[in-house]
A and B are shown apart, each in its own frame.
Chain A
Amino acid sequence: MVPAHRGTALSDLGLRQEFPLLAARPELHFLDTAASAQKPRVVLEAEREFYSERYANIHRGAYSLSVEATDAYEGARARVATFLNAAPREVVFVRGATEAINLVAHSFPGGWREGDEIVLTEMEHHANIVPWQLAAQRSGLVIRVVPVTQDGRLELEALDRILGPRTRLVAVGHISNALGTLNPVEQIIRRAREVGAMVLVDGAQSVPGRKVDLAELDPDFFVFSGHKTYGPTGIGVLVGRNDVLPKMPPYQGGGDMIAKVSFEGTTFKLPPGRFEAGTPNIAGAVGLARALDFLEEIGLDKIEAHETALAKEARSRLLRLGGVTVYGPEDVQSGIVSFNVAGVHPHDMATVLDQQGVAIRAGHHCCQPLWHRYGVPGSARASFGLYNTMADVEALIEGVQVAQRLFA
């Protein structure tokens, strides 16, 4: 259980001590949660406990230990489902958001036809670009791109022009990892449906920091990564609507995804099992389920308010320094702040900050087309997690000032 919150102010949820790495490095200002989150003790414990008390391969049910392990794995699936308000049979365990998107690109319901159009946005992560480009090369698809405005929003009027009878899919990030923009996915889904297109929402940056209700949002596909959600690496989720997944062919072949194998012909399990060939990351799923419990115990609304408040403060203080460009919408909607300081390359900024114990990400953040649009090679990005506090904002601002003096 998460102990009663020690911090009461919005600027400190009092959770740093729940993270062994952060507790062991009191000087570290970790501002790269958007790349991967640190792990709370309860997640490490859950994995350790699973391996030491209930571990066996799953779906091998002749002995009770395997049944217990299977229950833990399927329990994790049910946990993901309730967390997102979906059904367990809609939840496919994969390695991460990247694999989930590749799965959909490979096994798209009904298959691809030459000339089919896929709509992406200029702010997508490479994980939500390259799998579609590979499919486009294989099947003769056309990729169309919704541009981004100067202040880091999608140009929705352009979306209306781009959508048409040939559009099969719109794939869009829920929250941009490079800008922090919260995209209006409800509207996008509505408009895509009007032309009969499906929608994939990349929730890699939204699931860790805000309440997501898939029954309400109702995308055809939704993906996220465990490691950004305070869970283990190597586990992630594809949620596919229950009327969509059964229309999709398998992604990989192997054990565990079949109904019956013979050399005359093999039949496959129903989803989600059909998409989980081979022994999955069982302990990863268990750890992820515990991470989701952890987030709910704290409260997603509280986490969202906390991270947004820190990002808002960081944004306005960066702007007050002068010589700083901050990307993304003025009304901060997530824990991500992306910026550049005149005369200081982002990598140099990251090195200078690192020397002050502040860990940020520098570069293109796997969004090269976006930075091309802004005419810069990339940015410095601070991203706030539930363990960060106003002291981390303070350290960031001081570090940026050191860089400004050094490169003046």
Chain B
Amino acid sequence: MSLSELYQDVILDHNRRPRRYGQPGEDYASAEGTNPLCGDSVTVFVRTEDDRIADIRFVGSGCAISTASASLMAEAVAGKTVAEAMALFQHVHDAAMGAAEPDEAMLGEVAAICGVREFPARVKCATLAWHTLKEAIAEAGK
């Protein structure tokens, strides 16, 4: 368990320059996720077309792990079907909790956030955006 495993270059980069950051127009469904323990918050905006995530954006305030996780997530699920995004969420969740070995082929850059598995206090930071994505998609389906 070392700092460089947690704060990989990918994480530091996405923290410094979050991708897909910003509030989009009115035609997006959104959900806000908060971690009451630490006060982190993230709002995820999605626009779906049929069963596909046509576009995704986020805003929020949080630590490097939660910011990078949201940014990596947004990049990873943009253009995917809802089912594909949820499958990815399930795997990220299991891998971050240490319940599954990270599948690098499936995760791509997202694998970097699985560094939290050695830092139990930080797992929630990594999964906050993903839980919020799930809610935003549910909103979009309403």
Contact = CB atoms under 8 A, between A and B. Distances in A.
A233 B61 CA distance: 33
Interface in A336-353: 343, 345-348, 351-352
A352 B40 CA distance: 18
A345 B62 CA distance: 7
A351 B122 contact: yes
Max chain A Cβ within 10 angstroms of own Cβ: one of B3, B6, B62: B3
Given A347-B122, A348-B65, A377-B61, A406 B38 contact: no
Contacts of B7: 348, 406-407
Contacts of A355: 2-3
A315 interface: no
A265 to B, nearest CB: 43
Interface string B26-53: 0000000000011110000000000000
A345 to B, nearest CB: 4
A174 B119 CA distance: 36
Contact of A377 (B37, B40, B122): B40
B40 A351 contact: no
Contacts of B15: 407
Contacts of B16: 343
Max chain B Cβ within 10 angstroms of own Cβ: one of A345, A346, A348, A351: A348
Nearest to A350: B121
Contacts of A232: none
Chain B interface size band reads 20 to 34
B38 A348 contact: no
Given A347-B63, A363-B39, A378-B38, A407 B125 contact: no
Given A347-B125, A377-B40, A352 B61 contact: no
A152 B123 CA distance: 33
Chain A interface size band reads 10 to 19
A36 interface: no
Contacts of A85: none
A404 to B, nearest CB: 13
A368 interface: yes
B67 to A, nearest CB: 8
A362 B38 contact: yes
B64 interface: yes
A14 B116 CA distance: 37
Contact of A345 (B2, B63, B121): B63
A106 interface: no
Interface in B1-29: 2-3, 6-7, 12, 15-16
A347 B38 contact: yes
Nearest to B122: A351
A364 interface: yes
A348 B68 CA distance: 12
16 contacts: A346-B63, A347-B62, A347-B122, A348-B65, A351-B3, A351-B119, A351-B121, A352-B3, A355-B2, A362-B38, A363-B37, A364-B39, A377-B62, A402-B3, A406-B7, A407-B64
